[in-house]
A and B are shown apart, each in its own frame.
Chain A
């Protein structure tokens, strides 16, 4: 029931994005991965559900090495993982209700009515009740993001991966999403990875922190440990002081 990322390497052409990244999200905890833009956070998350395959190293979910799964096994694994995309990635041609119910229609034996109830329930959780028949093009950025979260939680996954869930949102929506992440972890025992560079939000939801820097894990530890760390790169990042980070180079 944990997600282990072990010595992950990934390059795109000449560009080495991950260079031996290792970190673990333990069962039931919310791990926050910090890192600058373009540091490879999204790339890391995509490896967890097999959207990308590592050049070397591996990701182990539930004791299974993701890159070694057959396509059927991979589908089974994906049913237990909810993925919140950075820009929501809602299906343009489907209504909000159809988007949220998409995973349920594929892999559950729920009836139409049960699916409709579940969709309504999930939309209530993200404060979007009454938006069932809207289309993604008619939603604001924050509403899209929340609809994306509703879609990810609809199948009651055991794992939730959040790619910058609060970036670019207003403070009220951010706080609401933070509470949602906490609720998922506290009430449903979900194991979560949250990728963010929103420090306030990170401290609200994190059980543990990791920092991805130059393709490797620069820091891993509890909120108290990250607050008191001496590492100038980590301090520079969380305090928003680039001069500290530069000195460390």
Chain B
């Protein structure tokens, strides 16, 4: 009986040691990434192509998600307010929600599925086909060559994509308000600016930057530590997406607690 009860806890214990181990190894890779920044000659010319890739991969999906979110936010706000609250508050809700929460988080989640998965699959394939070993034998520092440009590109591009998504969401909310909700443009914009503070933008960008770092570094980590052929690459890719999505949600709460 005791053994029976103990089993799940033993399993839990095992789970948590591997989690701690994983976090430790990810931390080591992050440390190496920071050290590898000094090999500017290696990573600099790879940065722009990676930024372009993050952009191309993610802008369409991010805008698509933001557009529908903006529409739904406007409609739900008006439905909730039911005349009890002045209609221009639709502008408040759309603006604040897109900026503070849905713009960064939905973009981050979408990008963990595109950018994070892409990185893990690509580096995982390079690992199992010995391309990373080959890089080393050609005297390239692999972290500087592979990890640094990807992480920097994500740190730079996530805020850009998030800003575009926020813009699209607000635009869609505005279009919905004047087309379907019997509001004027002036009312919507009045609501939009009513409670706006510049810190809203800062907050969104802090989130987007941290999500970018996490998605890319977690993708790189699972890619680098891939073992066991094509199947291993599949595992790494799935894990990268699952873990970075979870990390985004936790970080999101963390920023809300510490900064709001």
CB-nearest residue of chain A relative to B42?
A106
Interface residues in A, total, Cβ within 8 A: 24
CB-nearest residue of chain B relative to A163?
B130
**CB-based contact B139/A75 at 8 Å:** yes
Question: Cβ of A204 < 8 Å from any Cβ of B?
Answer: no
**CB-based contact A106/B139 at 8 Å:** yes
Q: Which residues of B contact A151 (CB under 8 A)?
A: 134, 138
Interface residues in B, total, Cβ within 8 A: 15
Measured between alpha carbons, how far is A90 from B137 in the docked complex, in Å?
12
Q: Which residues of B contact A81 (CB under 8 A)?
A: 137
Partner of B134, one of A50, A71, A89, A106: A89
Measured between alpha carbons, how far is A52 from B204 in the docked complex, in Å?
43
**CB-based contact A79/B139 at 8 Å:** yes
Q: Which residues of B contact A50 (CB under 8 A)?
A: 136
For residues 89 through 132 of chain A, which have their beta carbon under 8 Å from a beta carbon of chain B? 89-92, 102-103, 106-107
Question: Cβ of B129 < 8 Å from any Cβ of A?
Answer: yes
Question: Cβ of B203 < 8 Å from any Cβ of A?
Answer: no
Q: Which residues of A contact B131 (CB under 8 A)?
A: 89-92
Partner of A102, one of B126, B138, B141: B138
For residues 120 through 141 of chain B, which have their beta carbon under 8 Å from a beta carbon of chain A? 125-126, 129-131, 133-141
Q: Which residues of A contact B129 (CB under 8 A)?
A: 87, 89, 92
Q: Which residues of A contact B141 (CB under 8 A)?
A: 71, 75
**CB-based contact A78/B137 at 8 Å:** yes
Question: Cβ of A9 < 8 Å from any Cβ of B?
Answer: no
Partner of B125, one of A83, A92, A106: A92
Chain B contact residues, majority secondary structure:
helix
Q: Which residues of B contact A86 (CB under 8 A)?
A: 130
**CB-based contact B137/A51 at 8 Å:** yes
Chain A contact residues, majority secondary structure:
mixed
What is the CB-to-nearest-CB distance from A12 to chain B, in angstroms, rounded to a whole number? 10
**CB-based contact B140/A89 at 8 Å:** no
**CB-based contact A78/B136 at 8 Å:** yes
Q: Which residues of A contact B125 (CB under 8 A)?
A: 92
**CB-based contact A85/B134 at 8 Å:** yes
**CB-based contact B140/A83 at 8 Å:** no
Measured between alpha carbons, how far is A51 from B141 in the docked complex, in Å?
12
Q: Which residues of B contact A83 (CB under 8 A)?
A: 133-134, 137
Q: Which residues of B contact A76 (CB under 8 A)?
A: 139
Partner of A87, one of B42, B130, B136: B130
Residues 134-169 of chain B: 1 if any A CB is under 8 Å from the residue's CB, otherwise 0?
Answer: 111111110000000000000000000000000000
**CB-based contact B139/A89 at 8 Å:** no
Max count, chain A CB within 10 A of own CB: residue among B125, B133, B141: B133
What is the CB-to-nearest-CB distance from A10 to chain B, in angstroms, rounded to a whole number? 16
Question: Cβ of A49 < 8 Å from any Cβ of B?
Answer: yes
Q: Which residues of A contact B136 (CB under 8 A)?
A: 49-51, 78
**CB-based contact B139/A103 at 8 Å:** yes
**CB-based contact B130/A85 at 8 Å:** yes
CB-nearest residue of chain B relative to A79?
B139
Q: Which residues of A contact B138 (CB under 8 A)?
A: 78, 102-103, 106, 151
Measured between alpha carbons, how far is A51 from B220 in the docked complex, in Å?
19
CB-nearest residue of chain A relative to B138?
A103
**CB-based contact A78/B139 at 8 Å:** yes
Q: Which residues of B contact A89 (CB under 8 A)?
A: 129-131, 133-134
Measured between alpha carbons, how far is A107 from B139 in the docked complex, in Å?
8
CB-nearest residue of chain B relative to A154?
B138
**CB-based contact B130/A49 at 8 Å:** no
CB-nearest residue of chain B relative to A161?
B137
What is the CB-to-nearest-CB distance from A144 to chain B, in angstroms, rounded to a whole number? 11
For residues 92 through 138 of chain B, which have their beta carbon under 8 Å from a beta carbon of chain A? 125-126, 129-131, 133-138
What is the CB-to-nearest-CB distance from A74 to chain B, in angstroms, rounded to a whole number? 8
Measured between alpha carbons, how far is A49 from B131 in the docked complex, in Å?
15
Partner of B137, one of A49, A71, A91, A92: A49
Q: Which residues of B contact A106 (CB under 8 A)?
A: 42, 138-140
A: which residues have CB within 8 A of B? 46, 49-51, 71, 75-76, 78-79, 81-83, 85-87, 89-92, 102-103, 106-107, 151
B: which residues have CB within 8 A of A? 42, 125-126, 129-131, 133-141
- Across the A-B interface, give the 4 residue pairs with the lowest CB-CB distance, nearest first: A89-B130, A89-B134, A83-B137, A103-B138
24 example contacts (A-B, Cβ-Cβ < 8 A) are as follows A46-B133, A49-B136, A49-B137, A51-B136, A51-B137, A76-B139, A78-B136, A78-B139, A79-B139, A83-B137, A85-B133, A85-B134, A89-B130, A89-B131, A89-B134, A90-B131, A90-B134, A91-B126, A91-B131, A92-B131, A102-B140, A106-B42, A106-B140, A107-B139
Further contacts, 6 of them, CB under 8 A, given A85-B134, A106-B139: A75-B141, A78-B139, A83-B133, A86-B130, A89-B134, A90-B134
